[in-house]
Amino acid sequence: MKISKLKLKNIKCFKDIEISFEDDKGSIKNWSLFVGDNGYGKTTILRSMAVGLCDKEGASGLLLELHGEYLRRGEKEGTIEIDLKSDEDERFTIRTSIKVKGDSESVSQEVEPVGESSRGETRDADSDSVRERVFAAAYGAGRSITGTKSYEQYATVDAVYTLFNYEHPLQNPELVAFRIKIASEDEWEKLKNTLKKVLMLRDDVKISLERTGLYVKTSGVKESLNSMSDGYQSLTSAILDFLGWNLMYRKDEDFDLSNLSGICFIDELEQHLHPRWQRSIVKILSEQFPNVQFICSTHTPICALGLGDLEGGSWLFKTPIPDGYSDIDRFNLQEDFKGYRADQILTSGIFDLTDTRSISVESKLEAYRDIYLKEESQRSEKEKQKFQSIENELKNLPMWDHLEDWRQRKRLIELIEGRYEIKSNDQD
């Protein structure tokens, strides 16, 4: 089961919004990325879906982890409505209602079928049976880089907890790796290859599981996972946590990494990752987990650019000013911003930056433009001096798209100027 639509009414900064993860043909995109300014509701959207997928007790417990009210200010009631869709085109709606009750907020839920399946069958809408068909896990912006927790069974509330409590530990990665190895040696071999792809390690790197933990061996040097950089640790821990939950969710079924499916929420996907890694992470996760629905947020255009590499398509959502009236914008990066660079994405309608240069250079350019637009006869002496001063300063700055382009053009200008000087001296 995957999420096809989300509706929020009177939840945090949202008055009434609807977000569809389907295209015009009813196909759900496996990748959705939310961008927007701080305080514009990206995390609220992820948390609301996590709350809606839990049972009433789990949802109530998650809301207690948050400071303040979850309802929009001044409202007494709000709803989280999640539409789910199976591979057989079965559709269900989980509606979570939150009401003010005294000094606290109470939670109630109902599950109902939507229409008929593609086979024309009438479906049961038993709450527990519908939730049992949904596998989901979530990772908050302040998620731990290591895991220490051990679980014996899957529960949605436990699997999404780090979205609400950043101190909540992930599962012990070594224990998860051991459980997968015990379940199947073939799946353990697949897992090692998956980790090498996700961590962008060379093919000749060896990953081993020993009594003292997970190790990575590169060029004859063996290093413990716990001693590696935060980027390696955090990504490995999150991947193994997700796989660990899936292993418990499947219970007696054979664990199959290549057919793993479910929903994965990640807040601030770029955490601890170098720009080179940010540029590739979307495509890598899509290739390694092609049946998983990833719903993430990010503050960087480099991760957003990764959506353009996905053949199956994807959605980029921009959360609006929290005025309660603006809608969420949805973009198809492959169609709307194909071929854009990261700096162009930043200055587009997605991130709304006016310039990618430093603030001081931007202010000088604005002052230069304002004076330039005036007739020369209308410029004051002070403005003329300022104009010349800014011009002298800017001509030595790398104003080209790439630093190497600027260097090459500068060398060319110096060469041309040198030739003119030689020619002028010869004429003299």
- Amino acid residing at 178: F
Amino acid 409: pLDDT: 62
Environment class of residue 348 by beta-carbon count within 10 Å: exposed (0-12), middle (13-18) or buried (19+)?
middle
Q: What residue ranges of the chain have pLDDT lower than 70?
A: 116-125, 252, 398-410, 413, 416-428
Q: What is the rounded CA–CA span in Å between residue 67 and residue 78?
A: 17
Is the Cβ–Cβ distance between 104 and 6 less than 8 Å? Answer: no
Closest-CA residue to 171 (of 199, 152, 194, 192): 152
Single-letter amino acid, residue 80 = I
pLDDT on residue 219 = 85
Give the SS3 label for residue 145. coil
Are residues 236 and 173 in contact, defined by beta-carbon separation less than 8 angstroms?
yes
Give, rounded to a whole angstrom, the gap between the first and last alpha carbons of the chain: 84
User: Using an 8 Å Cβ cutoff, are 239 and 198 in contact?
Assistant: yes
The whole-angstrom separation of Cα 22 and Cα 177 is 34
The pLDDT score that the predictor gives to residue 135 is 96
In the numeric block, which tokens belong to residue 19?
């977000």
DSSP for 195-253, please give it: HHHHTT--TT-EEEEETTEEEEEETTEEEEGGGS-HHHHHHHHHHHHHHHHHHHHTTTS
What is the distance between the alpha carbons of residues 172 and 2, in angstroms, rounded to a whole number?
A: 27
